[in-house]
Chains A and B, each alone.
Chain A
């Protein structure tokens, strides 16, 4: 999905309705913290960290 404008990572996560601390936000080879900004033309991966079932 795409979101317009320069946005803070924490705001993106909240906009997506994701509970804090349950995803990695990845830009290229880097992890981003909530206070960092994503520019309008940049792509990020929001990767869930939750494993399910029984191990």
Chain B
């Protein structure tokens, strides 16, 4: 197989683009794709200070690598979720990446300011799915760190496959409020929020994994042990089977939704006026934010468990 640009031997075939690339041409293709997404959706400029949420996985480290390479002002943020060896390995890889490129990485640990707890404890005490509790924690810590650090933008490594799976789930259940919020750029709705962007929303997992491998990025290959059985993986599998039969389906699904579908849902739900959480001061639709409600639920159930064991 030959590279579409230079006719050297290809190292990757991208059926969705009806193309194949050699290493240098693929790296150029990937960087250009990310830069085009940033420019097209006016995500940020080189004057902005960008906080990149990194997990130690291929997408977030590939994103940070590209942004650094393109000359954007970035810092990384790693949140330790306390998921045993998986979290320890993720943190090591994120730190090693930052160190090797002379980049600043902020490291936070879950439950530091609220009393120590883990995703496992949050899941078992509140009976929420692990990914739901994890999402609530991440949003809180990322929002808080971005605001406290004076960043202009928070960038995450969500890729095309994430967006297509999320869109499929939102359409299957006609989640109007979620469809209204499914965009690569979220404009802040409160002074303590910063703009949230997803520069990889048009690039597939295959592309980010290929980029990470070719750049020699040592990322966590193992999946989060809590993700087994996650609904999003079912949606991804369905989308991948469709993509196999009809290459380009994922990209068309997401980009056509943004172009033709999203405007129909944008005003489908009322935007509540956000106040400030009575506990942590972050934006909240009610008296307390989702994070603080979850933490107090964990603490209440923990206290109940102690009471029962004493009885």
Contact = CB atoms under 8 A, between A and B. Distances in A.
Verify that A and B bind, or say they do not. yes
Interface of A: 19-22, 24, 26, 30-36, 47-55
Nearest to A20: B244
Contacts of B237: 19
B210 to A, nearest CB: 7
A20 B240 CA distance: 8
B213 A52 contact: no
Interface string B266-284: 0000000000000000000
A53 B210 contact: no
Given A50-B236, A51-B59, A52-B232, 12 more contacts: A19-B240, A21-B15, A22-B206, A24-B210, A31-B12, A33-B10, A33-B13, A51-B162, A52-B224, A53-B232, A54-B131, A55-B156
- Per DSSP, chain B at the interface is helix
B35 interface: no
Contacts of B208: 49
A52 B134 contact: no
A26 B233 CA distance: 23
A29 B129 CA distance: 38
A46 to B, nearest CB: 11
Contacts of A36: 1
Interface in B17-67: 20, 55, 57-59
A51 B240 CA distance: 13
A19 to B, nearest CB: 5
B130 interface: yes
Contacts of A26: 213
Interface in B146-199: 156-158, 161-162
B141 to A, nearest CB: 13
Interface of B: 1, 10-13, 15-16, 20, 55, 57-59, 130-132, 134-135, 138, 156-158, 161-162, 204-206, 208-210, 213-214, 221, 223-224, 226-228, 230, 232-233, 236-237, 240-241, 243-244
B241 A19 contact: yes
10 contacts: A20-B15, A21-B15, A47-B221, A49-B209, A51-B59, A51-B161, A53-B223, A54-B131, A54-B132, A55-B156
A52 to B, nearest CB: 3
Contacts of A30: 11
Nearest 10 interchain pairs by C-beta: A52-B227, A53-B227, A49-B209, A54-B131, A31-B11, A53-B131, A52-B233, A49-B205, A33-B1, A54-B135
B213 A31 contact: yes
Contact of A19 (B12, B16, B223, B244): B244
Contacts of B221: 47-48
A51 B57 contact: yes
A53 B230 contact: yes
Nearest to A31: B11
Contact of A55 (B10, B12, B157, B244): B157
A32 to B, nearest CB: 8
A51 B223 CA distance: 6
